[in-house]
Chains A and B, each alone.
Chain A
Amino acid sequence: MPDPFPSSAPPIIDIRRVTRKFDNNMALDDVTLSVPRGGVFGLIGGNGAGKTTLIKHVLGMLKAQSGTVQVFGLDPVQNPVGTLGRIGYLSEDRDLPNWMRVGELMRYTQAFFPSWDEAYAEELRVAFDLDNNAKVKTLSRGQRARTGLLVALAHRPELLILDEPSSGLDPVVRRDILGAIIRTIAEEGRTVFFSSHLLDEVERVADRVAIIHQGRIMLTASMDELKETHRRVTLRFNQSLDRAPLLVGTLSCAGEGPEWTYVCRGESEQLKRAAEAIGATVVGDASLTLDEIFVSRIQA
């Protein structure tokens, strides 16, 4: 596979300094985000952090009150056909018309997307075990998610946007969804942008990650970079301490007695030198799961 981020290609989603207020609630605060073409981009944040609001801006459902949003280099509000026609979208609440049958939904969606692949759609329908004549109203939650995913994937979109794709779903459906994400980017040039608060899944599939908290982007980095720069270092001091000293570059610390564990970001070497300077020995140095990185950054 070629190097995923050739910097010469323009980003597929380019959000610059977007702010959004709902009445008095600041949902997005000066958000700048750039999603490169190709690869999987994970937007992670807690509930109410602003993930869905941001996605709605990308789809043109919300107009930017300040700043600009560009998708495929176009404004999604001004040009719905040019942007939405190349996007496959699965909404958080799997918004599908209850009265339609699965077959009718596929036929209806096909009319809007010239790149719809009928054979692929049928293959997906069989793989997801969906009955053509079943009304959407009668489908279970997992089946609804699969149906929504089917109509999002069948036209082989350049950009697949998933809003909390795994929330409320059993492990089997989650595997389907993640598998679909992988298959999508395995094909050249396609991009996946998804928001999730299930961080073990983001860790598996994302190339780049952005953390959003209370409407602000806390950091944007590639997955490798994130994992390499966040480490858990355990120091052993010469004597028992009630409170461990604060060291440069640490996000949190916990422990008791002579042993204290620091979560640090950036260079762990610097921390180790500082530790030795104050007479502590480094007894542990481990990597963190994305979950732990997220929690320690939010709490810092």
Chain B
Amino acid sequence: MLDSRQATCIIELVQVLRGPGLGENGFVQIHISTNDGVPIYVQIVNQVKYLVASGRLAAGAELPPIRVLAERLIINPNTVARAYRELESAGVVEKRRTAGTYVSDQGSPLARRERVRILTGRIDALLAEARQMDIGFDDVVKLAQQRHAAMQGPSHEE
């Protein structure tokens, strides 16, 4: 059975599959859903973190102003403000006075810690799933090596 952290990771995974990303004109595309009860600001925080961690939001890129994002997503500006505050305290973004909110430099230890945290969550979920499917840890490691080789494969041949 999954605990709360694993459940959150699965949900984040689902949100990733739903596809935040860069839309046209380089705008940040975030999708909000009120179906699963997850607080809206948490959804925004998670999606922005993923975008940054996966490199789709480059360091130094500007996040939309609070008011603009609120109007686009049809949510309360306070919610967006709270999400931005959380992102700032997690070190993912930084607020430049009067200039807006920008993605912080990826080299900072805080940002890296964030990325490691996301990956840890993924690994935990993977391990839990494997346990459920009755696949041993050694098999999982072997599988991971196989997949890594397969991904490197074509570039070797080239």
Q: Is A277 an interface residue (CB 8 A)?
A: no
Establish whether residues B34 and A182, one from each chain, have CB atoms under 8 Å apart when the complex forms.
no
Establish whether residues A182 and B37, one from each chain, have CB atoms under 8 Å apart when the complex forms.
no
Establish whether residues B75 and A289, one from each chain, have CB atoms under 8 Å apart when the complex forms.
no
In the complex, A135→B115 CA distance in Å?
Answer: 59
Establish whether residues B39 and A186, one from each chain, have CB atoms under 8 Å apart when the complex forms.
no
B44 cross-chain contacts in A, Cβ below 8 A: none
Establish whether residues A292 and B37, one from each chain, have CB atoms under 8 Å apart when the complex forms.
yes
Establish whether residues A207 and B1, one from each chain, have CB atoms under 8 Å apart when the complex forms.
no
> In the assembled complex, how far is the CB of residue A246 from the closest CB belonging to chain B, in whole angstroms?
23
> In the assembled complex, how far is the CB of residue A172 from the closest CB belonging to chain B, in whole angstroms?
12
At the interface, is chain B mostly helix, strand, loop or mixed? loop
> In the assembled complex, how far is the CB of residue A210 from the closest CB belonging to chain B, in whole angstroms?
16
> In the assembled complex, how far is the CB of residue A78 from the closest CB belonging to chain B, in whole angstroms?
34
> In the assembled complex, how far is the CB of residue A125 from the closest CB belonging to chain B, in whole angstroms?
19
A224 cross-chain contacts in B, Cβ below 8 A: 39, 82
In the complex, A21→B36 CA distance in Å?
Answer: 39
Q: Which of A262-285 contact B (CB under 8 A)?
A: 283-285
Establish whether residues A289 and B36, one from each chain, have CB atoms under 8 Å apart when the complex forms.
yes
Known: A204-B32, A227-B39. A1 touches B77 (CB 8 A): yes
Q: Which of A39, A179, A183, A290 contacts B78 (CB 8 A)?
A: A39
Q: How many A-B residue pairs have CB under 8 A?
A: 71
Q: Which of B36, B40, B74, B82 contacts A182 (CB 8 A)?
A: B74
Give the contact-size bracket for chain B.
20 to 34
Q: Is A49 an interface residue (CB 8 A)?
A: no
A40 cross-chain contacts in B, Cβ below 8 A: 76
In the complex, identify which listed stretch (B18-26, B53-61, B63-71, B101-109) lies at the interface while the others stay far away: B63-71
In the complex, A207→B79 CA distance in Å?
Answer: 8
Q: Is B7 an interface residue (CB 8 A)?
A: yes
B36 cross-chain contacts in A, Cβ below 8 A: 286, 289
Establish whether residues A4 and B78, one from each chain, have CB atoms under 8 Å apart when the complex forms.
yes
> In the assembled complex, how far is the CB of residue A186 from the closest CB belonging to chain B, in whole angstroms?
5
Q: Is A96 an interface residue (CB 8 A)?
A: no
Residue of A with least CB distance to B84: A1
Known: A1-B81, A185-B77, A204-B76. A283 touches B1 (CB 8 A): yes
Establish whether residues B74 and A204, one from each chain, have CB atoms under 8 Å apart when the complex forms.
yes
Q: B40, B67, B78: which has the most chain A beta carbons within 10 Å?
A: B78
Q: Is B38 an interface residue (CB 8 A)?
A: yes
B7 cross-chain contacts in A, Cβ below 8 A: 284-286
Q: List 14 A-B contacts (CB under 8 A).
A: A39-B78, A179-B71, A179-B74, A182-B71, A182-B74, A185-B76, A186-B71, A204-B74, A204-B76, A206-B76, A228-B39, A284-B1, A284-B4, A287-B39
Closest 4 A/B residue pairs (Cβ): A287-B37, A200-B34, A289-B37, A283-B1
